[in-house]
Amino acid sequence: MKYLQYHWKSRAFVVLLISVVISMLLISLELTDWAAQINQQGYSHGGEGGEGNKVPSFLRYILPFVKELVLIGVPMLLTLLFLKISRMLKRSPIR
């Protein structure tokens, strides 16, 4: 419990700052012509010709977890990397 309260404001600020930066990058990506083209084309489930859905059934249960892992894990790993680099820079003497 002591560790959770140790510098919690600065750690929460770093996490929020990285989350805001990633959100701004995703919003700017959404406004590109590339994203507009993808939205216009859409995604066809199963293709043309009525062959049905070719995605294996077990992927329907795995893919939501992959989505959560990417959307939560990537910002977490970027935050941890940023904190590790900032600690290394603080410890190293400036010459």
Convert the pLDDT of each residue in 16-54 to its tens digit. Answer: 998 899 899 989 998 999 888 888 887 655 555 445 557
Q: Which two tokens stand for residue 48?
A: 């043309």
- Percent share of the chain, pLDDT over 70: 81
* Calpha distance 79→16 (Å, rounded): 10
The pLDDT, as a whole number, for residue 20 is: 92
What pLDDT shows up at residue 49?
Answer: 47
C-alpha angle 9-13-18 in degrees, rounded to nearest 5:
155
Which position has the higher pLDDT, 3 or 37? 37
For residue 71, pLDDT over 80 is answered with yes
